[in-house]
Amino acid sequence: MCGRFVSATPPDQVAGYFDIGEPEVLLEPSYNVAPTNDVYAVLSDGTARHLDAFHWGLVPLWAKDPKIGSKMINARAETLAEKNAYKSAFKKRRCIIPADGFYEWKKDPAAPPKTKKQPYFIHRPDDEPYAFAGLWEVWRGPDKDQEPLRSCTIITTSPNEEMAKIHDRMPVILPPSAWDTWLDRDNDDLDLLGKLLVPSAPQIITMHPVSYDVNKVSNKDASLIEEIDAEAPEDGALL
């Protein structure tokens, strides 16, 4: 699962990393992106890549209420082609969700009773962005005058050796060599696309324990990613 991540790199730097022109949107930097927040996503129009903003939590075309998106922040790679919520987007509407890193929680008997888990920040050793594989949709709803809702989800897979130390799932992290194939809107070869949805190389994963302050979604500042002494007592907060 990927339930929180960091998106703090300026959009022009994100655009440069993904070989995109001038960014079309500007979001506030966040060290604690949470479900239902707006997030950056990289898409291709067939000739060039674009950086746009989407609501995190995919709302399927057939949804009666957009609130369903809060339950669809992640999509399992193993069942994309089968689930009604994802199979159309898997075939036609794929994206890359940039992230400076993400958080995961590990069960820890030393953690405060209210949390029972120690949060960790996971990022690349070289601090370059991760390229999460994602899907997107546009939901128009029953009201014709309502603004269409653009939403996305992050695809997860089984963990690599490093992630397995703390969790049984991880985001699909696409290497640069896979970006064109994944973003190609004319590519509907699901077998080929499915082969991209594998655990990343463990060499791009490093992690350290961070403060329980990340448990509170209103906390968004850079102190959240600072390493702490996990053995030291700390007051926790509920997720």
* Residues annotated catalytic, as ranges: 2, 104
In sequence order, which residues have a C-beta less than 8 Å from that of residue 13 and are 6 or more positions away?
none
Per the CB < 8 A criterion, the answer to whether 150 and 138 are in contact is: yes
Per the CB < 8 A criterion, the answer to whether 222 and 6 are in contact is: no
Give the angle subtended at the CA of 73 by the CAs of 141 and 7, to the nearest 5°. 110
- Residue corresponding to tokens 């399992």: 76
**What does the H/E/C string look like for 21-50?**
CCCCCCCCCEEEECCCCEEEEEEECCCCEE
Q: What are phi and psi of 16, to 5 degrees?
A: -65, -40
B/e letters for 19-51, b = 16+ CB within 10 Å, e = fewer, are ebeebeeeeeebbbbbbebbbbbbbbeeeebbb
Cα 64 to Cα 6, 18, 23, 140: the distances in Å are 30, 35, 32, 10
What's at 40, amino acid-wise? Answer: Y
- Residue corresponding to tokens 């992050």: 154
